Structure 1
Amino acid sequence: MRVWTRKSSLGGVKFRSEMDAREVAVLRSLVESVVGLLDERSAQAPTDDLSALTGIRSGNTSAPEDATLARLLPDFHRPEGADAADTPDALAQRADLNGALRGMHEPEIIDAKRAAGTAILGSLPADGGRITLTPEQAELWLTGLNDVRLALGTTLGIDADTPDELPADDPRAPHLDVYHWLTWMQDSLVQVMMA
């Protein structure tokens, strides 16, 4: 992949880069995996009479059990310090609050994440080549790339203590290279958008 560049024309600002066919295949696979996880989660949402009457969708009220989905769809409320007491009452109140917020907002969050993934998939050249994005598409790319990085980072167990390189015999090593590539791609796009 080449560094993102910014072009101004009569049609407005555009952001451009190029990917080879292999890079397109890797990114497409990762994005499709994230969208698939989100689709599964959305399909598990309960249906209720109030939703049917009002047309307002309701989402799952419990946090995802899958670690990757839990990273993509975290709890809404996490108290810090003294408020974070793990007494049974505090845990129950937190679960109730998070469940209510999740039930109201998760469908829209999933829709936004799915739209970002779809924007990436729709703008990838099938066999590699030039990518041209409008500012709106670039914003969606940033969201989608962030979701893919979060999902891959969770799967690999990446945290603040993870070294930049892993030993060659570590099965995560090639995937860490992909994680770094995604980070570079996202950073390059952010830099050119801020220019």
Structure 2
Amino acid sequence: MQDWTRDNGRLVSELEPNEAAVIRGLVGEIRDMLAGRAQQAPQDELAELTGMRTGPSTPPEEGVLARLLPDFIHPDRDTFEPEAGEADTAGALRSLHEPELIDHKSGVATTVLETCPERGGTVSLTEDQADSWLTAINDVRLALGTALGISEESPDEPPQDELQREHYYVYQWLTWVQDSMIQALTS
């Protein structure tokens, strides 16, 4: 992949076929995970009458989804678990806001899948599409980082396990892709 550049107000780069396959595959997996979570929403007669959807009131049990759909209170804490007495508030906020968050994350994933050439080649994005790419790539990085146990305290060395090492290199490459996009957008 080449660095992202600006060309007539668009963000442009070239993807190799394998790079396009990685991006499309991982973004598609995130979208599928989010769709599965959306299907867990309770069926609510009031929602059918008013059009106001609600989502589950409990956080996802799966670690990657819990990272992608964190609680809506106390963003300054490092934990995803509410403290005593906060569970009701966290559940109500989750139920109200999670459907919108899933819609947004699914929407940016769809934008990536629509603008990323299946067999590689030129990618040319508007600023809005580039923002969607940044969000979707960030979601993939969050998912990979959670699965690999990457944190600020993690060493910069790849894991010993071969499969984890490959995922780690994909994580690093996506970090570079995201950084290159940000550099092109802000220059």
Alignment TM class, shorter chain as reference: over 0.9
What whole-Å deviation, never above 9, does each CA across 1:9-45 have from its counterpart, x for those lacking one?
A: xxxx100001100111111111111011100000010
| Secondary structure, counterpart of 2:124 in structure 1 | strand
Q: How far apart are 1:171 and its partner, in Å?
A: 3.8
Instruction: Tell me whether 1:158 sits opposite 2:154 in the alignment.
Output: no
Contact map agreement 2:2 2:13 (CA 8 A) in 1: yes
Q: How far 1:170 sits from its partner (Å)?
A: 5.0
> TM-score, normalization: structure 1?
0.89
- Counterparts of 1:8-19 in structure 2, within 5 Å, are 8=8, 13-19=9-15
- 8 A Cα contact 1:165 1:173, kept in partner: no
Give the superposition deviation at 1:126: 1.6
The change in CA–CA distance for 1:193 and 1:80 in structure 2 (over 3 A counts) is closer
Cα shift at 1:78:
2.5
CA distance in 2 between counterparts of 1:68 and 1:79 reads 17
Runs of 4+ with >3 A deviation:
167-171
Alpha-carbon contact 1:124-1:131 (below 8 Å) kept = yes
Aligned to 2:5: 5
SS in 2 for 1:172: helix
Match of 1:74 among 70, 74, 83: 70
Partner of residue 16, structure 2: 20
Shift of 1:79: 7.7
Larger Rg: 1
**Paired-residue identity, %:** 48
C-alpha contact 1:165 1:176 (8 A) present in aligned 2: no
TM-score by length of 2: 0.93
C-alpha distance 79-43 of structure 1, shift in aligned 2 (>3 A): closer
Q: Does 1:48 align with 2:44?
A: yes
